[in-house]
């Protein structure tokens, strides 16, 4: 009886010991897991962070979003002005999953659907991404071999971007700034973090549209010059021994070793090396552009006083990423290649002064005749005009007639046209008229056919 009682006591002691051990293991291993899941569940429910003294958006993004580089998304979502002046006690909304701040894929002017240009935002180390690309470009990262670029490719700090000939590339930073690199240009994204963005122009040109920085530092440097950005749209060029900067809107500060800093206001530029360096000069005005009145495929710049060269771009898109023609001419006369398809193009014409400073551009739309098109415009005896074009049978089209090449205010717009011709008029007002035909089902496609014709003023004979 006593032995049985002793065994029962021993069993109770061991059970108590096992329970205490299990409790210790529960407290040691299970409770932290529960705490982690509880914290994650809490964060998943409210997605907020209450600011404490010393907090930074950079640190908060690293803590909650697994990458400090995502801090601009938090800034935009919460409407934070200066990220250096956070107010303790303010609750930040971190529900980024339900908000979109990324690039939206867009249809290419060439008719193909663009690659996922927002794909780069899913790379937590990416500071920028390729938004649009026309031509061939490469990315060099560290000691690795250069890799071909495509729309949506992520760009990290330290990466070097290089465009080939006849290539235009635009990339977008997380703060919303967009930079366009024309052909034969090289740019390194040296630094991009919560306090500064630093780009190195190694060769060529860059056109920058900088978002508001709210106290951050944004600089573009060449080998000898640093440009501190206080504005929104400016250009930098470092090619063929010429280094220049021009400001279209805003202000930039120019710093050169051994020289006092200068400020460039909108509409001004400067040479950054050589004769006349660091002297603020007013940019030359935008030159006018005369389009072809016949089938000559020649465009001419209207002379600008003080111009030594003229530069022309033709593009299929208004952002001038998909450039189909680029040339410089001292006399301002541009003979277009014979194989350039006819149609409407976005044109950008600018003049350079004797120091190589590029003036204010003239952006317009021009029509290039196509000798290969079997289009025809015939005036009828009653003052109406019969217009014919080549189109697939039973194609549903939209026909427009306008006095301006941008078709902003068409005088005729027929949304449903079948076949390959229309009759419009009578038209009594003299001048130039533009017409185009688009397939109704192909939004964003170039016109099936386009053209223009002139109506001469009537000669009245006096009694």
Domain that holds residue 32: 16-97
Of 44, 65, 97, at which residue does a domain stop? Answer: 97
Residue 258 shares a structural domain with residue 306? no
Residue 191 lies in a domain: yes
Does 382 share its domain with 424? yes
Higher per-residue pLDDT: 135 or 194: 135
Q: Which pLDDT belongs to residue 160?
A: 95
Residues 443 and 332 reside in one and the same domain? no
Least confident piece of the model among 4-8, 265-269, 282-286, 408-412: 4-8
User: 228-242, 347-361, 441-455: which has the highest mean pLDDT?
Assistant: 347-361
Q: What is the pLDDT of residue 305?
A: 95
User: Is residue 172 over pLDDT 80?
Assistant: yes
Of 269 and 384, the one with more pLDDT: 269
Are residue 211 and residue 87 in the same domain, yes or no? no
Tell me whether residue 344 is in a domain.
yes
pLDDT(429) > 70: yes
* In a domain? residue 160: yes
pLDDT at 241: 79
d(CA 438, CA 440): 6
Q: Are residues 207 and 353 in the same domain?
A: no
Sorted by sequence, the CB contacts under 8 Å of residue 283 that are 6+ apart come out as 246, 267, 268, 269, 357, 358, 359, 360
User: Residue 462: which pLDDT band, with cuts at 50, 70 and 90?
Assistant: low
Q: Which residue has the tokens 């979003």?
A: 65
Judgement on whether residues 338 and 434 belong to the same structural domain of the protein: no
249: in domain: yes
What is the predicted pLDDT for the residue at 116?
55
| Structure confidence by residue, pLDDT tens digits, 322-355 | 888 999 999 999 988 877 877 778 899 999 999 9
* pLDDT at site 286: 95
Q: What is the CATH number of the domain that holds 277?
A: 2.60.120.1440
Statement to judge: residues 317 and 182 lie in one domain:
no
- Check whether residue 314 and residue 401 sit in a common domain: no
Looking at the structure, do residues 41 and 160 belong to the same domain, yes or no?
A: no
Where is average pLDDT lowest: 18-27, 125-134, 343-352?
18-27
| 427 within domain boundaries | yes
Whether residue 198 contacts residue 219, with contact meaning beta carbons closer than 8 Å, is answered with yes
Q: What is the pLDDT of residues 194-227, one digit of tens each?
A: 778 889 999 999 988 888 877 788 888 887 677 8
Mean pLDDT of 236-242: 84
**Number of domains into which the chain is organized:** 4
pLDDT at 331: 92
Same domain for 136 and 81: no
* Residue 51 pLDDT class (50, 70, 90 cuts): confident
pLDDT tens per residue across span 75-98 = 777 777 667 777 788 888 887 654
Residues 262 and 175 in one domain: yes
105 inside domain: no
- Highest mean pLDDT out of 113-117, 154-158, 226-230, 336-340: 154-158
Residue 412: burial class (beta carbons within 10 Å; 0-12, 13-18, 19+)? middle
Do 123 and 272 reside in the same domain of the chain?
Answer: yes
pLDDT digits (tens, 9 = 90+) for 398-423: 888 888 888 888 888 876 566 677 78
Specify the pTM: 0.59
Segment among 232-236, 260-264, 313-317 with least mean pLDDT: 260-264
Q: Are 333 and 316 in contact (CB under 8 A)?
A: no
What pLDDT is attached to residue 272?
A: 83
Domain presence at residue 461: no
Percent of the chain with pLDDT over 90: 19
């Amino acid at each position: 009886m006593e032995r049985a009682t002793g065994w029962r006591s021993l069993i109770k002691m061991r059970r108590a010991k096992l329970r205490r051990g299990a409790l210790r293991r529960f407290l040691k291993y299970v409770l932290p897991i529960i705490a982690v899941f509880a914290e994650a569940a809490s964060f998943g429910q409210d997605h907020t962070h209450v600011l404490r003294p010393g907090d930074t958006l950079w640190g908060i993004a690293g803590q909650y979003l697994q990458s400090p580089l995502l801090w601009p998304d938090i800034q935009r979502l919460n409407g934070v002005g200066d990220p250096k002046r956070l107010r303790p006690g303010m609750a930040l909304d971190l529900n980024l999953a339900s908000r979109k701040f990324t690039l939206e894929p867009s249809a290419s002017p060439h008719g193909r659907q663009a690659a996922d240009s927002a794909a780069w935002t899913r790379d937590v180390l990416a500071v920028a991404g390729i938004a649009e690309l026309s031509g061939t470009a490469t990315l060099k990262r560290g000691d690795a071999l250069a890799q071909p670029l495509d729309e949506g490719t992520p760009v990290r700090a330290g990466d070097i971007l290089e465009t080939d000939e006849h290539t235009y590339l635009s990339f977008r930073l997380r703060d919303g700034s967009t930079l366009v690199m024309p052909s034969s240009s090289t740019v390194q994204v040296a630094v991009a973090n919560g306090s500064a963005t630093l780009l190195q122009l190694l060769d060529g040109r860059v056109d920058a549209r900088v978002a508001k920085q709210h106290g951050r530092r944004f600089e573009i440097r060449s080998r000898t010059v640093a440009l501190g950005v206080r504005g929104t749209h400016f250009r930098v060029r470092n090619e063929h021994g010429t280094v220049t900067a021009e400001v279209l809107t805003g202000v930039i500060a120019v710093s050169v070793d051994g020289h006092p800093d200068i400020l460039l206001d909108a509409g001004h530029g400067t040479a950054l090396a050589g004769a006349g360096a660091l002297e603020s000069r007013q940019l030359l005005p935008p030159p006018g552009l005369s389009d072809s009145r016949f089938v000559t495929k020649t465009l001419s710049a209207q002379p600008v006083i003080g111009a030594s060269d003229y530069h022309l771009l033709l593009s299929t898109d208004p952002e001038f990423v998909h450039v189909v023609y680029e040339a410089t001419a001292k006399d301002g006369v541009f003979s277009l290649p014979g194989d350039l398809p006819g149609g409407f193009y976005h044109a950008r014409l600018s003049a350079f002064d004797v120091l190589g400073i590029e003036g204010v551009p003239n952006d317009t739309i021009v029509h290039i005749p196509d000798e290969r098109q079997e289009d025809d415009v015939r005036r009828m005896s009653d003052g109406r005009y019969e217009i014919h074009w080549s189109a697939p049978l039973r194609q549903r089209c939209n026909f427009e007639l306008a006095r301006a090449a941008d078709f902003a205010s068409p005088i005729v717009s027929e949304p449903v046209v079948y076949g390959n011709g229309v009759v419009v008029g009578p038209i009594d007002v003299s001048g130039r008229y533009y017409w185009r035909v688009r397939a109704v089902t192909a939004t964003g496609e170039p016109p099936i056919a386009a053209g223009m014709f002139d109506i001469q003023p009537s000669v009245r004979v006096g009694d």
